[in-house]
Amino acid sequence: MPLRSSPPTPARAGRWLLCSLLSLSLAACGQGSSSQAKEPQGLSSQGAVLGEARIRLMAANITSGNNQSYDPGHGIRIFQGTKPDVVMIQEFKYGANSDADIRAFVDTAFGSNFHYYREPQSGGIPNGVISRYPILAAGEWEDSSAPDRDFAWARIDIPGPKDLWVVSVHLLTASSGTRNTEANQLVNYIQQHVPAGDFLAIAGDYNTDSRNESCFPTFSAVVSTSGPHPVAQDNKEGTNASRAKPYDHVLVSNNLRAYQTPTVIGASSFSAGLVVDTRVYSPIEEIAPAQSGDSGVTGMQHMAVIKDFLVPSDDPTTPVPTGRVTVVVPNGGESWSAGSTRSIAWTASESTHVKLEYTTDGSTWNVIADSIPAAEGGYTWQVPASATTKARVRVSDASEAAVADTSDADFAITSTPPQDTRAPITQETEANNSVATASGRVGADKNVSGTLSSGTDVDWFAFNVTTAGSVKVKLSMSGAQDLDWYVYSASDLFFSAASSATMSNPEVGTFSASAPGIYYVKVVGYAGATGAYTLNVSGAGVQP
């Protein structure tokens, strides 16, 4: 029988599972869609201005290596960096291709809340669909020309009154005539089973040598094939390795094409969509963790293609947020020492302020900063003293929690004391009048000599604390000059952690370093005092 259906793999159970079973039973009888699914509605029936939901569709045959699989990780990084909502994926292979392996791939590349369907191929190069939104029904339509894959389809419950039907295709390289035969077969399936009022996307690896092939007029019976077409930043449409041929496409029905909107990633905007070639994408940080060489590695099949759409949503009063944030660092795999100072980095569009949080167990979230300007793109964070292998960072819009991103995988916080690899000093080095130019490092109980040469001179020194605890600072003057010291942690350079500003000689004080990390001593002259001095920092936790 040409129509074969299988249940999608859920990220949750509920209403859609019942709907899926009903839909599949009717589809097997040749009746197509189920009456349990949402009925197509005209937009005019809503009676109020609808909100909008941004949906990013991607065609992706981006396996690499020698086995046509996603194991090498280059394609995974591209998925993580571009954040698609619905992917029509080809060569859907990972690990041993077990259910657990495929689920782990989806979790890593997209998130544990994503749904997927993979055609049940025992071998071959199966097609599939991965979706942020619930998959109501899914299955495969037979591609009689291809022995190792079929047409994988899914009906998706996107926001709004219409469902989105998608078909993941991988047409044969044999000839343009063969591809047109496949196109005719697929168009026939669509006309039989997809309601005319719903949205439709046919996406994937068409293997087309040019846009003049006969399959495009065939496909135009159900989708729009006209330009403008997506391009990379070099303004080329090609998606094969040499970028000379348009192999890959995201083609959608006319009613969905009406809602196409520019694809926006970071500060970059692509009016007709994007061909993702990391070799020419700039700045590459916008699609981190993707790396500039990912699209050119050995065995990389093609370039992914992206199109964005703003579709009417269900809510007639509250627009669906369209902003996007992306965690760049830490994004998984890092190992950070407890107490060390690290930079959190992100990209954001259509957000003015962001909230930063972290978790050490995957469930409890702790606030790092409630609201900082999104445009800063970075934040200096003192890593908490909580050893774990399950840490992640979350960045969200400070006023819209639904716009958020989390580290794509766990990173580790280790209890290993952080080490400053610089050799200890015995003499200051000018100019050291700021934190950025601080002399260092000052070793534990090692005397360091310096001089304030003018009334405006200020000297900064750095020392490293490997274990939290008591630290003693001693400043000895060579004469009667009145010099003072202040200590700051790298995580707070505005308020001193300790100071000694009396008329004593030496100026001596102790403070409790609450966490490992870099600390700074600032030496200043009271009322413009100048002269030579000796600085000594000691304590069991100070790095020798």
Span 314-336, pLDDT tens digits = 654 445 556 778 899 998 888 88
Q: What is the pLDDT of residues 337-378, one digit of tens each?
A: 887 788 999 988 888 999 999 999 877 889 999 999 999 999
Compute the C-alpha angle 375/404/94, nearest 5°. 115
Continuous H helices in 248-399:
254-257
Split at pLDDT 50, 70, 90, the class of 9 is low
What's the pLDDT score for residue 324? 79
> Whole-number mean pLDDT of the chain?
86
- Model confidence at 219: pLDDT above 70: yes
What average pLDDT does range 445-470 have in this prediction? 93
What's the pLDDT score for residue 414? 84
How far apart CA 388 and CA 415 sit, in angstroms, is: 9
What's the pLDDT score for residue 8? 58
What's the pLDDT score for residue 319? 53
Q: What is the pLDDT of residues 68-108, one digit of tens each?
A: 999 999 999 999 999 999 999 999 999 989 999 999 999 99
What's the pLDDT score for residue 325? 86
- Model confidence at 241: pLDDT above 50: yes
What's the pLDDT score for residue 21? 35
Residue type, 341: T
Q: Higher model confidence: residue 15 or residue 264?
A: 264
Q: Picking from 175-189, 260-274, 390-404, which range would have the lowest pLDDT averaged per residue?
A: 390-404
- Model confidence at 523: pLDDT above 60: yes
Residue 96 burial by Cβ neighbours in a 10 Å radius (0-12, 13-18, 19+): exposed
Output the six-digit token pair for 516: 């490992």
408: left (phi over 0), alpha (psi -120 to 50) or beta: alpha
Residue type, 513: A
Residue 190, phi then psi, degrees to nearest 5? -65, -45
Domains of the chain: residue spans and CATH: 52-312 (3.60.10.10), 324-414 (2.60.40), 424-539 (2.60.120.380)
Contacts of 525 (CB under 8 A, 6+ apart): 452, 455, 457, 481, 482, 483, 484, 531
- Model confidence at 140: pLDDT above 60: yes
- Model confidence at 409: pLDDT above 90: no
Instruction: Give the distance between the most distant pair of CA atoms in the chain.
Output: 100
What average pLDDT does range 245-260 have in this prediction? 96
Q: What is the pLDDT of residues 47-64, one digit of tens each?
A: 333 578 899 999 999 999
Output the six-digit token pair for 384: 């908490």
Give the percent of the chain with pLDDT over 90.
67
* End-to-end Cα separation, the chain, in angstroms: 76
Q: Which of 188, 185, 190 minimizes the C-alpha distance to 172?
A: 185
Q: Higher model confidence: residue 515 or residue 464?
A: 464
Split at pLDDT 50, 70, 90, the class of 246 is very high
How far apart CA 298 and CA 293 sit, in angstroms, is: 10
- Model confidence at 172: pLDDT above 60: yes
User: Which residue is it, tokens 């991103």?
Assistant: 405
What's the pLDDT score for residue 143? 94
Q: What is the pLDDT of residues 298-307, one digit of tens each?
A: 999 999 999 9
Q: Which of 146, 189, 151, 147 minimizes the C-alpha distance to 168?
A: 151
What's the pLDDT score for residue 417? 65
Q: Higher model confidence: residue 37 or residue 473?
A: 473
Q: Which of 2, 20, 257, 255 minimizes the C-alpha distance to 115?
A: 20
- Model confidence at 120: pLDDT above 90: no
Q: Would you say 283 and 266 are in contact if contact means Cβ atoms under 8 Å apart?
A: yes
Packing angle of the helix pair 74-82, 99-109 (nearest 10 deg): 50
Give the percent of the chain with pLDDT over 70.
88
Q: Would you say 360 and 384 are in contact if contact means Cβ atoms under 8 Å apart?
A: yes
What average pLDDT does range 406-427 have in this prediction? 85
Q: What share of residues in the chain are helix, strand, coil (percent, to 5)?
A: 15, 35, 50
Output the six-digit token pair for 54: 């941004």
What's the pLDDT score for residue 282? 94
Q: Is the peptide bond before 262 cis (omega within 30 degrees of 0)?
A: no
What's the pLDDT score for residue 122? 61
Residue type, 531: G
